Chains A and B, each alone.
Chain A
Amino acid sequence: MKYLEEFRDPDLARRLLDDIARITTKHHVLMEVCGGQTHSIIRNGIDRLLPDEIEMVHGPGCPVCVTPLETIDKALEIASRDGVVFCSFGDMLRVPGSGRDLFSVKSTGGDVRIVYSPLDAVQIARDNPDREVVFFGIGFETTAPANAMALYQARQEGLTNFSMLVSHVLVPPAIRAILDSPTNRVEAFLAAGHVCSVMGYEEYYPIAEQYGTPIVVTGFEPLDLLQGIKMAVLQLEEGRAEVENAYQRAVTRGGNVPAQQMLADVFTTVDRNWRGIGAIPRSGWALGAGYEAFDAAERFTVTDIDTVESPLCHAGEVLRGTLKPDECPAFGKECTPRTPLGATMVSAEGACAAYYLYGRFKELEATP
């Protein structure tokens, strides 16, 4: 398939690996921010094929993993109400709240529906004027343009039975928060390619400069990842800290301008709590001026939320890159994709799920 197979060529991958081995002289810690990239790295065994000196740590770029527990509990409460149709992307359904998840709300009679696009939720609202249709609008900068368009259309049409529970998160402030952390070990970042397709990579220049940290915009196929890793390692070896683009076929410096205009129109930048990580200043988007009426958090007053995280779960450390999933004592024991204790074990982008799915168990590795 075009643009896919070529970027999975094993011969070229081997050459890139040789090249990386050739330029590497010391230990480096690299973080891929995006959970989609984490899965690609683990699925293809890239972290194991790299020279021993290069350590890949996995970042917080898993939207369902970082959605605040309080927001999930709020979603669960709204979804259980009579007269509500609660629409969500599928990977949100198994994310544990304080004690239950959207699946259990659905199985106990809640009208919870999985949609592929937020526009599907708008259509459900048009088709069901007597029901309150709520969409769970989460995600990074990649998902935000879609959610913004759903809100824009709902407002254009004057839909009164549609609202959104919005909890968007942004990559650049998260990178800053990781670099600011006293326990940080990350020396270079692979920036999430598709986030940059939307936003461009202008925002990363001040970060690279201020922290002296290389940032390389990177795609998702094995060759893309290896090329991004190679460029980052080369910068570290040469003592440079620049922003580079290893994903030129999909990312331009300015990004997608029509999408950015829509985002600016619909959303406003706010401080946001990240599950497992904590509050990060100006790291999220919420509904902006003119869209207040579509705010599900306002429309449905939810009080008395008492959030409880599993005491066994170390997802916060996993999301910050200070703990590998297989180092969590509950990994593969109390916690599996069927019985997840943390959101990182659920999502298609969660690091714990990637390690589980691709058989990364410490015991197995220990046997010679």
Chain B
Amino acid sequence: MCLGIPGKVIEITGEGVTMTGKVDFDGIVKEVSLAYVPEISIGDYTIVHVGFAITQLDEKAALETLAHLQEIEAVAIELDPGAALAAEEAIAKGDE
């Protein structure tokens, strides 16, 4: 119920509590309420929970976070190969 993933607003209709829109989640388009994100525009990204957009994603903040992560120096610490392998297995299992 709480697995919100980002989607792109591709259509907006109505206003106020009946403001709705179509949101594209990587090809799957859903009709959602935009009542809680009244400032959102077509092309913006949002996170949707049970049919309601609850936040508008901030592109500037996203780019800043990524830029900050790029700056982390890549120090070569040997990761525990056993743990990495186990994690890969877990991921593979999850994909089945």
Listed in ascending order, the chain A residues whose CB lies under 8 Å from chain B are 1-4, 6-7, 11-12, 14-19, 21-22, 34-36, 39, 42-46, 48-49, 61, 63-64, 89, 91, 116-120, 139-140, 142-143, 145-146, 149, 152-153, 192, 194, 197-198, 220, 223, 227, 248-251, 256, 258-259, 262, 347-349, 357-360, 365
Q: A22-B77, A145-B54, A259-B54 are in contact. Are A197 and B47 (CB under 8 A)?
A: yes
The interface centre, meaning the residue of B4, B32, B91 with most chain A CB atoms within 10 A of its CB, is B4
- In the assembled complex, the CB of B84 is this many whole angstroms from the nearest CB of chain A, namely 7
CB–CB A143/B2 < 8 A: yes
Which residues of A are found within 8 Å of B80, using beta-carbon distances?
Answer: 49
Please state if B54 and A223 are interface contacts (CB–CB under 8 Å). Answer: no
Contact B52 A117 (CB under 8 A): yes
List chain A residues, Cβ under 8 A from B59: 249
Q: Which residues in B have their C-beta under 8 angstroms from that of A117?
A: 32-33, 50-52
User: In the bound complex, do residue B6 and residue A4 qualify as a contact, i.e. CB atoms below 8 Å apart?
Assistant: yes
CB <8 Å contact, B51 and A142:
no
Contact of A249 with B58 at beta-carbon distance under 8 Å, contacts A2-B45, A15-B73 already known: yes
Could you say which residues of chain B place their CB within 8 Å of the CB of A220?
A: 3-4
Residues of B within 8 Å of A223, CB to CB, are 69
Q: Taking A14-B74, A17-B79, A149-B52 as contacts, is the C-beta distance between A3 and B6 under 8 angstroms?
A: yes
- Among candidates B6, B77, B90, residue contacting A2 with C-beta atoms closer than 8 Å: B6
Contacting residues, chain A, for B77 (C-beta < 8 A): 18, 21-22
Chain B, Cβ-Cβ closest to A195: B2
Q: For A45, give its contact among B36, B47, B50, B91 (CB under 8 Å).
A: B91
B12 → chain A closest CB, angstroms: 16
A45-B88, A248-B65 given as contacts; is B51 within 8 A of A22 (CB)?
no
Q: Determine how close the nearest CB of chain B comes to the CB of A264; give it in whole angstroms.
A: 13
Contact A250 B84 (CB under 8 A): no
Q: How far is the CB of A194 from chain B (nearest CB, A)?
A: 5
A251 near B50: Cβ-Cβ < 8 Å: no
Q: Within the complex, what minimum Cβ distance (angstroms) separates B96 from chain A?
A: 10
Known: A142-B2, A250-B55; 5 extra A-B contacts, CB below 8 A, are A143-B1, A145-B49, A198-B54, A220-B3, A357-B93
Can you list 27 A-B pairs with a CB-CB distance of less than 8 A?
A1-B6, A1-B26, A3-B6, A3-B62, A4-B6, A6-B66, A36-B2, A43-B91, A63-B2, A116-B50, A117-B32, A118-B51, A139-B1, A142-B49, A145-B36, A146-B33, A146-B50, A146-B52, A194-B47, A194-B55, A197-B54, A249-B58, A250-B57, A256-B37, A256-B55, A349-B1, A358-B91
Q: Which residues of B contact A139 (CB under 8 A)?
A: 1-2, 50
The answer on a CB contact under 8 Å between B83 and A49 is yes
B87 within 8 A of A: yes
With the chains together, A223 CA to B67 CA distance in Å?
12
CB-based contact B87/A45 at 8 Å: yes
Contact A142 B54 (CB under 8 A): yes
Q: How far is the CA of A152 from the CA of B75 in the complex (A)?
A: 54
Q: Does the CB pair A358–B90 fall under 8 Å?
A: yes
Q: A12-B69, A15-B69, A198-B54 are in contact. Are A348 and B47 (CB under 8 A)?
A: no
